[in-house]
Amino acid sequence: MAPIKLAVVGAGPSSFYVASRLLSLLPRSGPHASSLKIHLYDRLWAPYGLVRYGVAPDHPEVKNCTHKFDEAATDPRLRFFGNVNIGTTSPFSYALPLSLEALMPYYTHILYSTGCTVPILHPALPPSRYCIPALSMVHWYTQHPSKPSPPPLDRTSHVTLIGQGNVSLDVARMLLTPPDHLAKYDVPMPVLDILRRSAVQHVSIVGRRGPLQAAFTTKELREMMNLPDSSMVPLDPALLAQVQGASLTRQQSRTLQLLQKGSKNKPGTTAKTWSLDFFRSPTGLTTPVSPSDKARLTLAHTTLDPSSRAVPTGESSTLDTDLVITSLGHRSELSAPWYDPALGHLRTVSGRVVNADGRVVRNVYASGWAAMGARGVLASTMMDAYAVVDTILRDHFPGEDVQTTAASGPESAADKAAEADALEVLPKEVDLDAIPPEVEAGLKEGRVTDFEDWRRVDAEEIRRGEELGKERERMDWEEAHNFLTKTRT
């Protein structure tokens, strides 16, 4: 049987779930062990993607999946190459550029697992110093290599978040939690310094629909209710009464109970407050004429039509605020291969990449948000990754029972027909150990990182954190590069 030499573009959670699953289903003691190689490429110098640069610092338990990823990386059949940007334009000048065409001759299979890295903007709220995407905030407090500018929190008393998903609540919680409570977590010291100078007194969390349609989870809402130094502005009882008779899911019932109970701290007892502003949709933002003025956000009042879509009532109101943060979801990069603008992510069928003409691209796959769009949590990402692995193995070992799950179901007649008409873009035979010469040179120069580099950085970040009494103290690329250069000599 021909080998599987898989290049994975992206090294976030979906990539590692795919890799670890393949390694476990084709174990080193099995008959196919010697014909499997997996190479993970990422334009970031460190692995784990959103687990490192997207999970809120005060949710360390969510990062426990990295133990599984670390275990997979001990398998010699898996290699990681950081600081390698495949195909698309990189925002990092120090990343090694490598075209997809230069990568293809070295691999029999390719998996795109690049996530959704571009924030969806509100058409009525163009980015400005008064309006930024939530991704910039998240990247700021996780010290993402994109290095967004710190928010002017020392001059900001009122923040308005547009969108009522978990990311909005993460940002609100980071702004309202006492910095001394955050200090034990994975929050970089420069971020803590700015949070300690913060003047934020109120955070408005705006959504165009009602409490039953809000996208945040009960867990995130409960954390907001239990903030130590903040209280929730009570909701209008009439708003909650409107949904009392509705047929509710378990989560909706719990959400409603929390909203009825309110925050642990009673209104009027705290200096900092927050609010959930339902049935409001932004229509414009007027910037202040002088530094002492606030921006003015115009909000259309909405209601739900019979299909639960938000529609304007004709009424409107304004909200004075210092900073608007939009949290409306994400899409893949427009320049990503096989990107479908109508979907906001890559075109796929059962994990197989499909071109614009609807033809399957043989042995090219996609997983995670790159294939599904920016939705779901780590558990759903894992199940999707396992389903894609089933597809890869079913394609490569037709008729053999090498997979242990059937999450993606048996191959259909349509799948077989699509495979029969698939485009051939990858070689069937390759050198299992070879990598592109540009990557080989980058490793020797120290420009490209491998997993051993990451292990050293990881241990050093944890050591520095222990000295400060916290989870870890992060390095940026310049610090990591200097540290690795010294440890290599």
Per-residue pLDDT tens over the stretch 184-231: 999 999 999 999 999 999 999 999 999 999 999 999 999 999 999 999
Domain boundary among 298, 328, 358: 328
pLDDT beyond 60 at 406: no
End-to-end Cα, the chain, rounded Å? 43
Confidence of residue 2 (pLDDT cuts 50, 70, 90): confident
Domain shared by 204 and 140, yes or no: yes
pLDDT beyond 80 at 355: yes
Cα 306 to Cα 288: distance, rounded to the nearest angstrom: 39
Cα 481 to Cα 201: distance, rounded to the nearest angstrom: 39
Domain shared by 203 and 307, yes or no: yes
Cα 368 to Cα 120: distance, rounded to the nearest angstrom: 18
Domain shared by 311 and 381, yes or no: no
Per the annotation, where are the binding residues for NADP(+)? 164-167, 208-209, 220, 376
Is 311 within a domain? yes
CATH number of the structural domain spanning residue 215: 3.50.50.60
Is 466 within a domain? no
Classify residue 174 by burial, with Cβ atoms within 10 Å: 0-12, 13-18, 19+. Answer: buried
Is 456 within a domain? no
String of DSSP letters for 25-41: HS-TTSTTGGGEEEEEE
Domain shared by 139 and 275, yes or no: yes
Q: What is the pLDDT of residues 320-349, one digit of tens each?
A: 999 999 999 999 999 899 999 999 999 999
Domain shared by 149 and 240, yes or no: yes
Residue 241: its pLDDT value, please?
82
| Average pLDDT value over all residues in the chain | 93
pLDDT beyond 50 at 108: yes
Is 89 within a domain? yes
Domain boundary among 328, 345, 380: 328
pLDDT beyond 90 at 486: yes
Domain shared by 251 and 355, yes or no: no
Domain shared by 247 and 209, yes or no: yes
Number of domains in the chain: 2
pLDDT beyond 80 at 416: no
pTM of the entire predicted model: 0.93
Mean pLDDT over 37-60 rounds to 97
Domain shared by 368 and 265, yes or no: no
Is 199 within a domain? yes
Strands 345-346 and 272-277: unpaired
Domain boundary among 291, 311, 328: 328
pLDDT beyond 50 at 112: yes
pLDDT beyond 70 at 401: no
Mean pLDDT over 169-190 rounds to 97
pLDDT beyond 50 at 262: yes
Residue 390: its pLDDT value, please?
96
Domain shared by 167 and 179, yes or no: yes
Per the annotation, where are the binding residues? 14, 50, 86, 164-167, 208-209, 220, 369, 376
Is 427 within a domain? yes
Is 10 within a domain? yes
| Residue 255 CB-half CA count within 13 A | 21
Domain holding 304, by residue range, is 121-328
pLDDT beyond 60 at 404: no
CATH number of the structural domain spanning residue 385: 3.40.50.720
Phi first, then psi, for residue 37 (nearest 5°) are: -135, 140
At position 469, the amino acid (one-letter code) is: G
Is 489 within a domain? no
Instruction: Give the Cβ contact number of residue 250 at 10 Å.
Output: 8
Domain shared by 169 and 228, yes or no: yes
Cα 271 to Cα 227: distance, rounded to the nearest angstrom: 12
Domain shared by 260 and 127, yes or no: yes
Residue 410: its pLDDT value, please?
57
pLDDT beyond 80 at 422: yes
Domain shared by 85 and 170, yes or no: no
Per the annotation, where are the binding residues for FAD? 14, 50, 86, 369
Residue 242: its pLDDT value, please?
77
For residue 119, give the DSSP letter: E
Residue 90: its pLDDT value, please?
79
